Chain A
Amino acid sequence: MTVRAAVFRLGGLLVALGLLLLVCLLSIAVGVESIPLGTVWDALVSGAVDYDSKVIVDLRLPRTLVGLAVGTALGLAGALMQALTRNPLADPGILGVNAGAACAVVFAVGFLGVTAPLSYVWFAFLGAAFASLVVYLLGFRGSTGPVRLALAGTAVSAVLGGLTSTVLVRDAATLEVVRLWQVGSLAGRDLSVVGQLAPFLVVGLVVALCMAAPLNALALGDELGSALGARIGLTRVLSGIAVILLCGTATAIAGPIGFVGLVVPHAVRIVSGPDQRWLMAYSMVAAPVLLVGADIVGRFIVRPGELEVGVMTAFLGAPLFIMLVRSRKRVRL
């Protein structure tokens, strides 16, 4: 890589970081009650106790932090999945990981009486792991192309979704708990939950970033990759674990949110190029920009109510997914 390209990419990353900061400030400032940025700054720094600071500290700040954590996790997981499966259509939503996590959480809430997010995160992991394993076993066949995996993911999601609804139909109490979570939202999530789940996120993050170099080698193909010193099996297993940690935690915190992991790596690849190290760095920054941004827009679309971010990302992401499918170059149909 030339020095100029490196400077260009670093500059781009800095711009993205600036964008992230801006979006976060906006997320704290705007909403049903908009607060001037100066007041936001005062509230964050000085710790005043008036009405505005209460809104900021109790509602908007947690929401923004949740968006940051979930967005980072989903973006990174998406990039990792696409590299791991060499599949441009890979996304936690499409490959059934979200459905697995959701199904396991519903079973935990319904049958085991689990209600604290810290307890059901384990079920989210379990469900995510189970679903991704099944989809991977059913759908992954080396060079058979991206479609098979997407179909396997959809099929497994359909079965898991049906199971979830079957439980919910029988059990009104669980439905009451789960239906607000099932839309996928950043609002109303307890910040202490994010704190408690942070270790999982951090481990997933670190493992994912360590996989960047080996995944670069694997992108050349299994044989060439292993000739370059990458350990194929180990890389796959560790990447899989990272995906499950990241998606499981994100889903446990915010509910199933689709398409962020799909859209972001494709969008940033234009600037970052195919190098996994840059791609992951960019995805980590750009995904929370998208998620928090979508959350802000969702506050204004159906005023005085709010549109959950899960609905927003589906409506932003699905058209892009369809565009990808239509461009024959990207997805070899």
Chain B
Amino acid sequence: MVPGRPVRLWGGRVSVRVQRRPVLVTIALALGLAVVFVVSLMVGDYPIAADRVLLALAGDGERLDRFFVLDVRLPRLLLAMTIGAALALAGAIFQRLSGNALGSPDIVGFNDGAATGALLVSLALSGAAVSAPLGAVLGGLVAAVLIYTLSYRGGVHGLRLILVGIGVSAMLASVRAYLISRSDLTVAQGALAWLIGNLNGLGWSQAQPVIIGVVSSMLVLALLSRRLGLLEMGDDRVAALGVPVQRTQVLLLLIAVSLTAFAVAYSGPIQFIALAAPQLARRLARTAGSALVTTALLGALLLASADLVAQRLFAPMQIPVGAATLVIGGAYLVWLLRGEQRAGRV
């Protein structure tokens, strides 16, 4: 049975099937995101009313308003949304490729690769504060190649990918512990703050490259989205349909790694968005596959809200946003595993 209700246009000459629930969920998420967007621009140590926020966004209004809205809050907010969407999409790809709800980059070790790479570059080369996008990207790539190669055995089995990832990330974690034990205490603490995932103090100069990188990766992903959906049918059947399975897998993996790498480059490896967002989106929309738009919106909404909480919960003190997503992650895991247990899966 084809899901969805038929919608007839032009007197029945054209008819399409539209699933109402996914559309409604997507609209609701977009509205939620809009609310969080405006609220994030309003609140802070210098509160600004909604009408003045809108004025400032239009380039009007008082100078101080414009400064806070456009130069301080907007870049951080856009970063949070972009990173959230990127992580959620990367998670959706990894989960599809591994065929497992827990196969997200934060569990599997790509984040670990990026984190270790960034730490290595910044501690080994400069010893200064950790902001090493190049190290993060390289580390993530190396880890991805390593994990993919090691789990390749006449094809990549999803669970094997996950377990090999666990092994590799254990090694990387010990490298990080070693680096942290050897470095200067303040540097170590800065590194730790970065490793949890932190948006504090980021501005346009970080937001621009991240947004450009993530959006271009998303465009490539959009071209491949049909194939991603097909992969759910199983390798053999997809191959029978004429899709080059291995090549598609590698391409998708590359997109996912680049999404992850851009996402973690400045903010550090923010955990659990990639794990939770695709599954939550799937369950909210009740679609069989992962609806990519819904997933991206939910990721953006989750991280933007988490960052709002991280900024305001103990204001004026800001906690790292990674600490806020940790709570989401813990609660989600318990819920997920219990649900899976009832369904007898995993």
Contact = CB atoms under 8 A, between A and B. Distances in A.
B25 interface: no
A186 to B, nearest CB: 14
Given A141-B341, A321-B167, A333-B160, A162 B174 contact: no
**A93, A147, A176 pick with most chain B CB within 10 angstroms:** A147
Interface string A196-234: 000000000000000000000000000000000000000
Contacts of A307: 178
Contacts of A158: 106-107, 271-272, 329
A144 B337 CA distance: 13
Interface string B182-215: 0001101100110110000000000000000000
Interface string B318-343: 01101100100110011001100100
B181 A333 contact: no
A179 B341 contact: no
A322 interface: yes
Contacts of A258: 170, 174
Contact of B333 (A94, A150, A155): A155
B170 A93 contact: yes
A321 B323 CA distance: 30
Interface in B248-301: 271-272
Given A138-B334, A154-B107, A182-B181, A162 B271 contact: yes
**B157, B164, B192, B344 pick with most chain A CB within 10 angstroms:** B192
A102 B346 CA distance: 28
Size band of the interface chain A makes with B:
35 or more
Contacts of A184: 174, 177
A138 B167 contact: no
A180 B181 CA distance: 6
Contacts of B341: 138, 141
Contacts, number: 137
Nearest to B169: A154
A182 B106 CA distance: 21
**A155, A163, A172, A315 pick with most chain B CB within 10 angstroms:** A155
B163 interface: yes
Nearest to B338: A138
Contacts of B166: 94, 150, 154, 321
A165 B195 contact: yes
Contacts of A152: 337
Interface in A173-191: 175-176, 179-180, 182-184
B189 A175 contact: yes
Nearest to B326: A162
Contact of B150 (A139, A165, A259, A326): A326
A229 to B, nearest CB: 31
A315 B171 contact: yes
Interface string A224-260: 0000000000000000000000000000000000110
Contact of A175 (B151, B192, B320): B192
Query: Would you call the interface of chain B mostly helix, strand, loop, or mixed?
Result: helix
A166 B170 contact: no
A94 B195 CA distance: 20
A149 B31 CA distance: 39
Interface string B146-174: 00001101000101101110111011011
B329 A169 contact: no
Nearest to B103: A151
A35 interface: no
Given A152-B337, A158-B271, A172 B163 contact: no
Query: Would you call the interface of chain A mostly helix, strand, loop, or mixed?
Result: helix
Given A138-B334, A151-B107, A166 B171 contact: no
A165 B190 CA distance: 11
B175 interface: yes
A163 B181 contact: no
B160 A325 contact: yes
Contacts of B326: 159, 162-163, 166
B180 interface: yes
A315 B177 CA distance: 13
Contacts of B177: 179, 182-184, 310-311
A308 B178 CA distance: 8
Contacts of B167: 318-319, 321-322, 325
A184 B180 CA distance: 13
Interface in A124-168: 138-139, 141, 144, 147-148, 150-152, 154-156, 158-159, 161-163, 165-166, 168
Contact of B323 (A147, A148, A162): A162
A165 B192 contact: yes
Interface of A: 89, 93-94, 138-139, 141, 144, 147-148, 150-152, 154-156, 158-159, 161-163, 165-166, 168-169, 172, 175-176, 179-180, 182-184, 258-259, 307-308, 310-311, 314-315, 317-319, 321-322, 325-326, 331, 333
Given A154-B102, A161-B173, A321-B167, 4 more contacts: A166-B326, A175-B188, A325-B160, A333-B159
4 A-B pairs with least C-beta separation: A314-B174, A162-B326, A325-B163, A321-B167
